[in-house]
Amino acid sequence: MGVTANPTIGRRRLGAELRRLREVSGMTTQQVAARLLISQPKISLLENGRRPIKPRDVRDLCGLYGVRDQRRVDDLMQMAGESGQPGWWNAYDDIPYGAYIGLEAEAAAIRFYEPLVVPGLLQTPAYARAVIAGTIPHATAEQAATRLQVRMRRQDRLRAPGNPLRLWAVLDESVLWRVVGSREVMREQLKHLAHLSAQPHVTMQVLPHDAGAHPGVSGQFSLLEFADTTDVCVVYLERFTSDLYLEKRSDVGRYSGMHAHLQAQALSPEGTRHFIKETIRAYADPESCRDARALSLPSP
């Protein structure tokens, strides 16, 4: 059985295997909790990969589930040991979304919709600095610097030689016109988007205002997909105090359909590049109208 150096993915894979073994044994999480004198929520957290698990706990669970293949037990215990190792992001203090970074670090592809600001993976340092300052006004200078450093390091996945992260980004038109930092910061950010949109592993589309109501009006979402077919796709919903992770097939299917609808309503990738270039020209001209309606929009 293979193992992974990514602790977040390792816990998810181990949890999924422990859930499968429990179901084969015919036991419920309540029964397991009662036999091992632990809480039922702990069993659920372990099976969902939300909590580290000790090799000793894996051994006890395998014994309870009747797993007699010692090599298999040893493999699972090894996975537990490796999944307990910290990821690179754990070296930074005050990073509340470490679970998401772990998933992002292992993802093969991410599809997302963003209605307000440029997503972190696509931000320039100056834009990211302004976003952090605006959205976390109580952060100290040290905390803001840490957030910026982590955000920039996450972008290494886009430059991974031979196997870069594949992105399909649908951005609301408001993202381009919300002045974050300054007009100059926005110009540089949009130039960066134009450059990224020409990369073969990045697909970028702008959803124009005149698209009207659409499936993304409820807010931002991301769909993370993994190369290993045993890993379930994850829907990530970023919230101010507590993020949400959805893994049910029905939820993943629903959000995948939403993203498909947004793709259909958005400008084509070619039209998006044209629109971004026109927006850059508007930012360069202090007298130009800031409203997107001043531009000659390409047809979706």
The pLDDT value given to residue 297 = 46
Can you tell me whether residue 11 is helix, strand or coil? helix
Between CA 284 and CA 73 the distance in angstroms is 63
Q: Compute how many other C-beta atoms are within 10 angstroms of the C-beta atom of residue 187.
A: 16
Q: List average pLDDT for each run of 10 residues in the chain, which is 300 residues long.
A: 51 80 88 86 80 84 88 83 64 69 86 95 96 90 90 90 92 96 95 95 95 87 83 80 79 94 96 95 72 45
The pLDDT value given to residue 103 = 82
Q: Is residue 300 part of a domain?
A: no
Shared domain for 70 and 137, answered yes or no, is no
The pLDDT value given to residue 205 = 97
The pLDDT value given to residue 89 = 57
Q: Which two tokens stand for residue 83?
A: 């999944």
The pLDDT value given to residue 47 = 79
Residue after which a domain boundary falls, among 67, 85, 103: 85
Domain CATH code at residue 121: 3.30.870
Between CA 98 and CA 78 the distance in angstroms is 22
Q: 38 lies in which domain range?
A: 7-85
Residue after which a domain boundary falls, among 85, 119, 143: 85
Shared domain for 113 and 233, answered yes or no, is yes
The pLDDT value given to residue 4 = 41
Q: Is residue 124 part of a domain?
A: yes
Between CA 155 and CA 120 the distance in angstroms is 8
The alpha-helical segments, DSSP class H, found in the chain are: 7-25, 29-36, 40-47, 55-64, 70-83, 98-106, 125-135, 141-154, 173-177, 183-197, 249-265, 269-284
The pLDDT value given to residue 19 = 85
H or E stretch at 110 = strand 109-114
Q: Is residue 2 part of a domain?
A: no
